[in-house]
Structure 1
Amino acid sequence: MKPNMQPNMLSTWDTCVTPLTLTHTQPNTYNKPEKPCQTQSTVMKNLQTPALLPILALTNVIVKIIASVSIHPMLTGPDMAYLRTRVVFHCIAPNSSMPVSYELMQNNSVLIATRTNLQADQPASFFLKVAATTEGLYHCRATSGGSAGVSNRIKLTVVTPASDTRLTSDPSPPVVYQGSCIILSCVVTEGSHLSYAWLFNRKEVAPSNSFFFNLTGNKLVIKQVTPEHAGNYSCIAWSRVQDANRFSGSTEVQVTVKVYISKPEIAFSITKEGDGYRGNVTCWSSRGSPPINFSLSIDDKEVGAFIATEFPAAWFSVAMVPGLDMGEARCQVKTEMQELMSDPVTLEVVPVGGDVKVEVGYLYRADSTVAATRLSCRVRGTFPYISWLFNDSVLPSETHLDSSFQPVLPYYVFTHHRRTLVLTTLGPEESGYYSCRVRDSYDRSGPWVESEAVLVQVPDRIFQFMPGGTSSPETVPKVFITTTELITAEVITIAFCCFLLLMLVVGAACVYKIFDHEQAVARINMTNSDALPLPTLSSPLEGNQADVSSTQCDVQHQNQVVEVTL
């Protein structure tokens, strides 16, 4: 049965197919089998169409996805470049079918250039001349065989090298006084992305040296200028792109630091000119930066002025007559910041005269031996010249030479403008008669006034001062002083004891007043509490007032305690 059925089925199918073909060309032939064949064809078409649509759609999606991810271009190039230089970007789409078309885009919208590459795995190069408008965000777009891809993005920054660098100061010119502030700025005509370096006396200023300098951006700030900050300053503006550095330096600017002048001092001297005399008044300050305007006033009348440009001192010549009061002189100094006056001095020269005498004092060591002898020449006169005599021979004021031409230091020294003679040793050779003679220093031909000679030798009697009345010299160290020094020490001791006693009395009085005040307040509180009993309840307002009152009392009490302590 089976072999017989198969040919029938095939013939039936063929018979059905044949009329289908004939039916299209000859619709009126074979009418009987037309309906069964048309019905079967329609059913087959309806069954195949819905099954193929999802497959076709999925295939289309897959093809599009494959086409969209098949190209992955990469862009390489610099991220920084100097102005007016050339840069190159390279774009490559590996594993892409040739040819590949490349487009370089700026800021997502501006087309810079187009390249077509016909060789596999070869990048497309884009050369650009850097201008100010070149800065921006770059990417490339590659197209191959109907597929396209977008590369990574590179931000290009245009760096302008520094030019025409100069240094400015505030204040200008850079002349400041000690303790003030100065700001130095490094300014360029053009430049971007700059860093700054500072030089002080041609040595680099380290950023860590913040004690002397404060570096902020293109500024160097010195908040409190000292004389050590004076010198030459310069700056360098520089930038770096990759491994290339560009520098631009300024010229040096000298910063001058001035010192405030101190209170002026005044002194005068006198010289003999022929038969007359001239006075020389000196005005000076111990510190101060020139230029300084000096002026001299006598009895509030200006008699001279001078501008000191090197040293803070000035000299004025005035008329002078010995024995006459020429007036009260004062010096005035003036700068753009200060104006000061000196203390007054009376321009009066007292000639040498009157009695001249010598006072002798001995200085002792702890072992009761003489350490030195001090002789003082008491004389009346403004400008005396004193000469000392030993056994009627003048003592030279300089070292002398012995027979071997070796300098020998004398056994004496002069102090206080030769008013005092100190004998460093006192033996038989140094013992003898000493005297002083005096004349006016401004008149070499003037007369001498001589004192009486006094005998100086190792004293037989010494003044021993022992504290506390101790009678045992072995247990308590001895202190030996002269009669004049003993009187001075006693006066100082008595004055100190009186001052200490006065302070104790004042302190006791203050403490007594404090305790007396506290007792009075306590009695008043007790009296008020007996007369007006406190209520058992109080409002919040009353409580606050009580707190405020107690606080004020505490403050008053603290003020009293502090006042007593001071």
Structure 2
Amino acid sequence: MKNKQELCLLPVLVVACLVSKMGGSPLSSPILIGPDKAYLNSKVVFQCRSPGSPPPITYELLKDGNHLVATSNDLQDDQSATFSLKISVTSEGSYHCRVTAGGNTGLSGTVLLQVVIPVSGTMVTSDPNPPILYEGSRLVLSCDVTRGSHLSYTWFYNRQEVTSSPTSPLTPLLLWPVGNTLVVERVTAKHAGNYSCMAGTRIKTNSRFSSSGEVTVRVKAYLSVPQISFTISKEGSSYRGNVTCRSSRGTPPVTFYLFLDDKEMGSDVAMESLVAWFPVAIVPGRDMGVVQCRVESDAQRLTSKPLTLEVVPVGGSPKVDVEYLYRADSKMAAARLQCLLSLGTFPFFSWSLNGSILLHPSEGVSSHPSHALADEGRTLLLTEITLEDTGYYRCRARNSYDVTSAWVESEPVLVQVTEVSMTTLEVIAIVFCCFLMLTLAGGVACVMRMLNRQRGIVASSEQRGRERAANERRFSEHFCIIPDPLPLTDITTRPLRSQ
């Protein structure tokens, strides 16, 4: 029986011996330590450890599966191996370590290595190019490099870093970098300036950067409709006109054109401004035609309103219109005098008080500090009315372009200080209060009259009732009162019952 049991155990022992000879007990998983990123042409170190493995140990560094990179043997039970590699473009991939000890083999986990190419040749490109565009257009700036990988980008506007932080001073400009681009959907004048970028890579504490030069972005404003005006001057016995064409908004250079009765009379290129002047022939009192201005840029063409080129000499009878200004306490505070002129394209005004001339601003300072002239002398402001300012005021006018022309003068108007003067609003309030009081008084009187009348009617009714009762008593004492017979409709008949 014992021999039979030994014979049964013999195959088991043979199998165990074969297994021991083929591979022995399995190894624990090795550990591979190495970088996940490395600069091109730099040196990196991979370390493979297999704790608990008996010597001799063979370490193999494999790439992308089974491609053998390096081998190391451990004969002294150090249980680790170090592999030094110089990084090339082909070094990128997945690495693992294979350990063989005592006839057993173990594989480590994978380390993914990325090769980082240092950045160089950073520059800013723009769309449109060159970066000159009108308000409302789309601007795209790109930070391009000639060489580099795994890059991060930083943008600068007028040497200030552009960030997405809401507290950044550049946030109102809506500059949002995306990848290596900086996009502005609708540019404004505030977006004009100098832009630059910096591209860089960072591997732990080792950073490498490359900065671009600055690119100047110009934002052009659209032109406004030109305004046209003209002046006249006298040179000896002849007259000369000067037409001014002006746009209040836009970006030069622009070209102005002058048309007289739809015929081009001249042009002028404004390089640094938005105004141009054109000499024209002119005669006072004569219609010289209709002039118009046109302004052109590389994106617009605008024309002014037509203007009749006619100078009407000063004439007619001026009139002074006086308006008093009052304080909150209804006391006079100031006065405004306006000289109304019926004829005259270019008048020159002058004022006088009690026959004394008040100087025009172009001639000097007025002797009265409380006097101020406005609207090219057409309006005289009395900022403080005192006894010295009380008197008769006149205005007169002549042609501003001819100092030898005759004056036309208005009638004198008296301006004096009044102690109290109620405003229109106060007068309306007083009248309304009086009307309200009269209405209330009338209403009360009507109500009282109605009450008294009602009391009189009640009293007279009671008096008539008493008199009627007294008359009935006296009549009943001397006569027999027979009541009125019943009407036939009130008499009912009943049939007799049969016995």
Normalising by structure 1, what TM-score? 0.69
**Cα RMSD after superposing both structures:** 3.2
Who is 1:112 aligned against?
A: 69
How many Å separate the matches in 2 of 1:48 and 1:274? 149
Q: 1:348 to 1:461 in 2, by over 3 A?
A: farther
Check conservation: 2:153, 2:179, Cα contact below 8 A: yes
Q: Does 1:339 align with 2:301?
A: yes
Classify 1:367/1:245 alpha carbon distance in 2 versus 1 (closer, same or farther; 3 Å). Answer: closer
Provide the residue aligned with 1:55 in structure 2. 13
1:204 aligns with 2:165: no
Identify the residue that residue 197 of structure 2 maps to in structure 1: 235
For residues 401 and 242 of structure 2, the distance between their equivalents in structure 1, rounded to whole angstroms, comes to: 12
Q: CA deviation at 1:116?
A: 2.3
Q: Which has the higher contact order (CA 8 A, sep 6+)?
A: 2
How much has 1:412 moved relative to structure 2? 1.7
Alignment of 1:28-47 (within 5 A): none
Contact in 1 for aligned 2:361/2:377 (Cα 8 Å): no
**How far is 1:398 from its partner?**
5.5
Match status 1:470 vs 2:470: no
Q: Alpha-carbon deviation of 1:433?
A: 2.6
Task: Determine which of 374, 377, 391 is the counterpart of 1:418.
Answer: 377
Q: Give the match for residue 121 of structure 2.
A: 164
Residue 289 (str. 1) matches residue 243 (str. 2): no
Distance 1:100 1:315 in 2: 97
Change (3 A) 1:126 1:358: same
Give yes or no for the alignment of 1:445 onto 2:404. Answer: yes
Q: Return the letter of the residue paired with 2:402.
A: D
Relative to structure 1, is the Cα distance of residues 344 and 59 closer, same or farther in structure 2, using a 3 angstrom cutoff? same
Distance in 2 (CA, whole Å) between partners of 1:261 and 1:339 is 9
| Residue pair 1:68, 1:148 contacting (<8 A) in 2 also | no
Any idea what the Cα deviations from partners look like across 1:190-210, whole Å, max 9, x if unmatched? 221111111111111112356
Change (3 A) 1:156 1:463: closer
Matches within 5 A, 1:94-133: 94-121=51-78, 123-133=80-90
Quick one: distance in 2 between partners of 1:247 and 1:200? 18
Rounded Cα–Cα distance in structure 1 between residues aligned with 2:160 and 2:385: 61
Counterparts in 2 of 1:46 and 1:255: CA distance versus 1, 3 Å: same
**Which of residues 285, 296, 299 is equivalent to 1:323?**
285
Aligned counterpart, 1:436: 395
Which of 93, 102, 105 is the matching residue for 1:136?
93
Please report how far the alpha carbon of residue 133 of structure 1 lies from its aligned counterpart in structure 2 after TM superposition. 0.6
Maintained 8 Å contact 2:57/2:79 = no
Amino acid at match of 2:406: P
Among all aligned residue pairs of Structure 1 and Structure 2, give the percentage whose two residues are the same amino acid.
Answer: 48
Q: Which runs of 5+ in 1 are unaligned?
A: 1-42, 477-566
Corresponding position of 1:186:
143
CA offset at residue 118 of structure 1? 2.9
- Please give the residue correspondences for 1:488-507 in structure 2 after superposition, counting only pairs within 5 Å: none
1:346-371 deviation line (CA, Å, top 9, x unaligned): 11111222333434443445655433
Question: Does the CA contact (< 8 Å) of 1:183 and 1:219 recur in 2?
Answer: yes
1:48–1:358 Cα change, 3 Å: closer
Quickly say closer, same or farther: Cα 1:145–1:436, change in 2 above 3 A. Answer: same
Question: Does residue 391 of structure 1 match 2:349?
Answer: no
Deviation at 1:126, TM superposition (A): 1.6
Instruction: State the match for 2:336 in structure 1.
Output: 374
CA distance in 1 between partners of 2:271 and 2:137 (Å): 22
Distance 1:136 1:382 in 2: 88
* Alpha-carbon distance in 2 for matches of 1:408, 1:475: 51
Larger deviation: 365-374 or 77-86? 365-374
Q: Does the CA contact (< 8 Å) of 1:80 and 1:242 recur in 2?
A: no
Three-state SS of the structure 1 residue aligned to 2:16 is: helix
**Distance in 2 separating the partners of 1:54 and 1:200:** 81
Letter paired with 2:67: V
What SS does the corresponding residue of 2:13 show, helix, strand or coil? helix
Aligned mates of 2:104, 2:356 — CA distance in 1: 127
Aligned length: 429
Task: Tell me by how many angstroms 1:421 deviates.
Answer: 1.6
CA distance in 1, matches of 2:321, 2:57: 120
Give unpaired runs (5+ residues) of structure 2. 438-499
Give secondary structure in 2 for the equivalent of 1:60.
helix
CA distance in structure 2 between the partners assigned to 1:323 and 1:340 by the alignment: 30
1:505: which partner in 2? none
Match runs of 1:9-88 below 5 Å: 48-61=6-19, 64=22, 67-70=24-27, 72-88=29-45
CA distance in 1, matches of 2:81, 2:4: 54
CA displacement, residues 91-140 of structure 1 (integer Å, 9 cap, x when unaligned): 23334343322221111121112222333215322221111110011112
CA separation of 1:122 and 1:217: change in aligned 2, threshold 3 A: same
Question: 1:448 deviation in Å?
Answer: 2.9
- The alpha-carbon deviation at position 63 of structure 1 amounts to 5.9
CA distance in 1, matches of 2:27, 2:372: 110
TM-score of the superposed pair, with normalisation by structure 2: 0.78
Which protein is richer in helix relative to its size? 1
